[in-house]
Amino acid sequence: MLLLPSEADGQGTAITHALTSASTLGQVEPVGRWFEAFVKRRNRNASASFQELEDKKELSEESEDEELQLEEFPMLKTLDPKDWKNQDHYAVLGLGHVRYKATQRQIKAAQKAMILKHHPDKRKAAGEPIKEGDNDYFTCITKAYEMLSDPVKRRAFNSVDPTFDNSVPSKSEAKDYFFEVFSLVFERNSGWSNKKNVPKLGDMNSSFEDVDAFYSFWYNFDSWREFSYLDEEEKEKAECRDERRWIEKQNRATRAQRKKEEMNRIRTLVDNAYSCDPRIKKIKEEKAKKEAEKKAKAEAKRKEQEAKEKQRQAELEAARLAKEKEEEEVRQQALLAKKEKDIQKKAIKKERQKLRNSCKTWNHFSDNEAERVKMMEEVEKLCDRLELASLQCLNETLTSSTKEVGKAALEKQIEEINEQIRKEKEEAEARMRQASKNAEKSTGGSGNGSKNWSEDDLQLLIKAVNLFPAGTNSRWEVIANYMNIHSCSGVKRTAKDVIGKAKSLQKLDPHQKDDINKKAFDKFKKEHGVVPQADNATPSERFEGPCTDFTPWITEEQKLLEQALKTYPVNTPERWEKIAEAVPGRTKDCMKRYKELVEMVKAKKAAQEQVLNASRAKK
């Protein structure tokens, strides 16, 4: 028994003799058709099973060729070889029933069969008359095989196959039998598609996606059909290059025109099918129904919104009218109140004048000039403090009684008013003292830095708060650092101390603030022994340090100096003389003031940088 391994290392194949005696190993080589199969498998890197499948395929094709039945073309012997373009090449070879489905093997087999049957030598030997040259119908068989054996020429002939039905069903033809009519037409024309897997027309149960894919494919149909077979002129017959180019140009134009007509035919076919397709009508009806429902919903929503808007406008209008009515009532009440107030003012004015006249009639109840003046002051106090009813009662007493009774009533009223004024003053002083105590308590628990705020420290705090306005980075730390640098008391202040004292200063009575500012200005006059030139001049912020200018800069002078510094930059000749001319009355002080401002800015930056460095060190 011989065993052939599945794989061999070389071209030889090892076999084993399974005998009753000891086995021996030897090398053999394939010969004959086995060697041919072995070489094919090796070159194609295929297994024996794959080769067997191919052999079966070839055998099946050969069996098909053997089973192929050729159809006799009755008009074959009447064909004119010169008119070969108008002949049916498939029918000439007996393949009219197969046509474009015929394989090359079948075409070759048909050509062999036709040669054996219609060759001129065989017919001549049978006694049949033969035409001379290419005039014999056998030339048509040769031409047919020439056209169909070449794939390019065969494709050109298939494009103009005389048996192909180019007709397009009309809308009336497919009205009742749409799927039966158009399915055959689309299937017939699908052979021209460059793309495989052409979608089918389907039926009434096809989904919307399938229908949409079908019409999308055909509206963008890519056809391989071309019409070079129908060229009237053959460029091979041209005598020169120019004539050949002219023929090619004419042929291209003719092909393009026929291609355009073909695409119009396909488009007409798709348009007719689309307009007659009951599925499209159903889809359109459903879409129209959905659109109508959507439109109805939108209309209902719009009406609802209009109703809501109308109701809202009505409510707004009602609210406006109610508001106008209320405002009108308030205005009328205000007018009435104003009228009553005017009447009351006139009545009070009348009663006051009556009180003055009554006192004047009695010579203010005194013969002494000083007492009369004092009584006149007391009467004016009564006129300011007493209400209308009290004035009327007092005037009635003065007019209806004697001098002594009137004087007693007047003095009694004066005593009551003075007692009332005294009580109000005591209450105001008590409130002020309580406010001061509360301010001291709010800053009382902050340690050593909150105690012993001298007038100089308060002035320095006010100056620092103005120097570092709100928005300055780490503002209160910078202010505390500034005070620690420039304070003469030696007490170190923290940001918490500074904030507490600043809040307490804000709660002080305006008169106390004025006293602090006045003391600061008095100290300035005491140190320098001068008085400001302008009464309405506001002292500008100054840096705490040595200064030689004893006249404060007012705001208008400061603005003029800043504008002059901008107008005359550093490179301007005689800069400071021009700046001094721009600031009247400060001929020699502009440069000193500028240096003060520079020092102030430097001190401000130094305080900020120190606080920033301290915060970085903590991090």
Instruction: Read off the pLDDT of residues 274-308 as tens digits, 9 standing for 90 and up.
Output: 988 888 888 888 889 999 999 999 999 999 999 99
- Inter-CA distances, 51 with 48, 56, 60, 72, Å: 5, 9, 14, 38
Residue stretches of the chain with pLDDT short of 50: 1-20, 445-450, 530-549
Amino acid at 572: T
* Token pair recorded at residue 134: 């290419």
Give the pLDDT score at 312: 93
By the 8 A CB rule, do 413 and 355 touch? no
- Report pLDDT for 581: 82
**CB–CB of 99/173 below 8 Å?**
no
What pLDDT shows up at residue 12? 46
pLDDT at 67: 61
Q: What long-range pairs does 97-101 form, CB within 8 A, spacing at least 24?
A: 97/71, 98/68, 99/161, 99/163, 100/158, 100/161, 100/191
State the pLDDT at residue 17: 45
pLDDT at 293: 92
d(CA 575, CA 247): 94
Number of neighbouring beta carbons within 10 Å of residue 568: 18
- Which pLDDT belongs to residue 299? 94
* pTM exceeds 0.85, yes or no: no
The pLDDT, as a whole number, for residue 491 is 80
Residue 63, pLDDT score: 53
Q: Which residue has the tokens 């134009």?
A: 253
Q: What is the dihedral of CA 478, 480, 483, 489, to 10 degrees?
A: -160
d(CA 601, CA 607): 10
- Asked if 468 contacts 475 with a C-beta cutoff of 8 angstroms, the reply is yes
Closest C-alpha to 101, from 213, 191, 208: 191
CA distance 111 to 105: 10
Give the separation between CA 494 and CA 449, rounded to whole angstroms: 7
Tokens (6 digits) for 5: 């391994």
The rounded distance, in Å, linking the Cα atoms of 194 and 225 is: 9
- Local structure of residue 474 (DSSP, 8 states): T
* pLDDT given for residue 20 in this prediction: 47
Q: Where are the alpha helices (DSSP H) in 190-222?
A: 208-219
- The residues with which 25 forms a beta bridge, in sequence order, are 16
Quote the CA–CA distance of 134 and 120 in Å, as a whole number: 11
Alpha-helix residue ranges (DSSP H) falling in 126-240: 138-149, 151-159, 178-189, 208-219
Q: What is the per-residue pLDDT for 446?
A: 44
Contact 596, 586 (CB under 8 A): no
